[in-house]
Amino acid sequence: MALKATICKADLSVADIDRGYYADHALTIARHPSETDERMMVRVLAFALYADPQLAFGRGLSTEDEADLWQRDLTGAIERWIDVGLPDEADVRKACGRAPDVAVIAYGGRAVALWWDGVRGKLERQPRLTVREVPQDASRALAQLAARTMRLQVTIQEGHVYVADGATSVAVELRQLK
């Protein structure tokens, strides 16, 4: 019998001063049995970074050819494709052919540098692609905020990101790789 996803709920308040975006989002996050708290929370961070009423989570780790998050226009066309982690270079190039805006939010400490060294040559030629790294200490601190029910406030100002749950605050300094 296959294990089922764990459903987590997050009330997310986003104050993105850089974009002038202020909104509350009620998120339902299906956490795949093999997904860690760290990866789930990086997905939530990615949602906050690109927050929009049309942004939605993909169907999960077990679904190939689908983004971790994506934004579609009213016709159903993909406007933004967001992957979390260290995706395969061919999958990222394919996403760049499907969406006008593609982002990768990489995390994993030293593994990010190894991954980027291996894919940099081919991905740097993709004009639609943005790649940012979440430092390992920040992604691990975000994992500590994970719960079945969460109330999170995210403030983004001058490129600095702060995630708080009322008791704990995590500063995330994203590093631009591309």
Q: List, for residues 8-49, the tens digit of each pLDDT value.
A: 999 999 999 999 999 999 999 988 888 899 999 999 999 999
Band (pLDDT 50/70/90 cuts) for residue 138 is very high
Distances (CA, A) of 69 to 15, 102, 118, 171: 19, 10, 24, 22
Q: List, for residues 111-126, the tens digit of each pLDDT value.
A: 999 999 999 999 999 9
- Mean pLDDT taken over the chain: 93
Which residue from 168, 41, 165, 164 is spatially nearest to 107, judged by alpha carbons? 41
Pairing of strands 129-134, 101-107: parallel
Which residue from 92, 101, 98 is spatially nearest to 55, judged by alpha carbons? 101
Region 71-96 average pLDDT: 94
- pLDDT higher than threshold 80 for residue 61: no
- pLDDT higher than threshold 60 for residue 133: yes
Q: What is the structure's pLDDT at 3?
A: 72
Residue 30 forms beta bridges with which residues? Answer: 7
What is the side-by-side order of every strand in the sheet holding 149-157?
21-31, 6-16, 149-157, 160-164, 169-172
| Tokens standing for residue 40 | 């789930």
Q: What is the structure's pLDDT at 63?
A: 56
CATH topology of domain 6-176: Restriction endonuclease-like alpha-beta roll fold (3.10.640)
- pLDDT higher than threshold 60 for residue 177: yes
- Write the burial class of residue 140 (CB in 10 Å: 0-12 exposed, 13-18 middle, 19+ buried): middle
- pLDDT higher than threshold 60 for residue 1: no
Pairing of strands 129-134, 175-176: antiparallel
- pLDDT higher than threshold 60 for residue 134: yes
Name 18's Cβ contacts closer than 8 Å, sequence gap at least 6: 156, 157, 158, 159
- pLDDT higher than threshold 70 for residue 62: no
Angle at 71 between CA 67 and CA 75, to 5 degrees: 115
| Predicted structure pTM score | 0.93
